[in-house]
Every structure is written in C-alpha cells, then in structure tokens.
Structure 1
C-alpha cells in the first residue's frame, strides 16, 4: 500500500498536571473508540504523537483516500470528534507563530537520509 507521511506540531499548556492528564487520555486503550474510528475512516493508517516538555509532534501516515478537506468535513460533522477536540483544547495551546484558529501546524521536511 502506498502511503504519504505528514508531520505536525502543537504545544501543551506548560503545566505538569495538565500534561500528565493529556498523556493519560492518549495512553493505550484510553482514546475514545469514536475518535480512533474517525481517524481510520479518514484514510489515516498510522498516527503517532511524541512529546518533549510541552511540545508535541504528530506523525501521520495516510493512504490514497486521505485529503485534508475530507478530514475537516468529516470532523465538522461528527459530534463526538467535536467533543473530543473541545476537551483536548483544555490541554493544548497554539504554537507562538500559529495563525488564528490553527492548532496542529504542518512541519516542513528539511532533511532526509
């Protein structure tokens, strides 16, 4: 299967209690099943989130059915995704250079071995 990779970054609020809670929401088995389903239904075949301090990095592998426009539309029409995103925003904060309304910012690839 041919896939494409996208990488993103977002910050967490710099509060150790909130960071611990956010990590707990994302621990194995804790993400709401509706969220996992919405991710897979959008054509995302693998997603990983890494954190250092309060900075997060997300790696997404997508198949040929994926598009950002389709994912945005699917999320906007899914009340459970909207509920999850609202809850997660209690823990997240925009990167300092994010535009109004931007959450996860796409990273530019600058090196590949």
Structure 2
C-alpha cells in the first residue's frame, strides 16, 4: 500500500533534486559531529533568491503602492453615492527589487528543521 505513494513522491521530487544536485546522485556519509551529510553531490543551482519582481507601482507623483484610488464625490441631484475608483492608467511597475536577506527557493528539496 505504501509502495504506490512512495513511487509517486519519488517521481515528483526526482526532477527537483536533479535540478539542484544533478543526476549523478550522492552518498549519505557521516559528518564530524555524527550527523548525516551529503557526500559527492554539488549544487547545480543557487538555493537562494536574491531578487524578485515587485508587485508595486509608481504613479505620476512618484508614490509607490500596490493599488491607487481616487475619490468620487457624491451628488444629491443625481442620487449618486460617493465612492472610490481604482486607477489603472499612468502606472509604472517598480520592477526587480533586491531581497535583504536572501530567501530560500520554495522548490528546495531540503528539510531545514532539526529535531
């Protein structure tokens, strides 16, 4: 019963670990402090993310925000309520921003919890 689920998990995680470590595999040796360490595996990809695309925008005045709104005044004659209207025009994306400190990639196949 557990054989099928192990096969599925291995097929899902193998391409990810091959992306980070290559397809040559590696042995699990014993480190100086008695913990298991990977021997013979070298990282192909960097496990850290140093930049990311920002989801914020600049408006004409140079302000930075995720969304911009203008206030719409109400009118008693037209029976129109006051409200807010989102602005979609004349916005420039902020672009790439650097992360300080760097983050770990979400697809990194290593468990970082020590029990």
| Structure of greater relative contact order (alpha carbons < 8 Å, 6+ residues apart) | 1
The structure where strand makes up a greater share of residues is 2
For normalisation by structure 1, the TM-score amounts to: 0.29
For normalisation by structure 2, the TM-score amounts to: 0.29
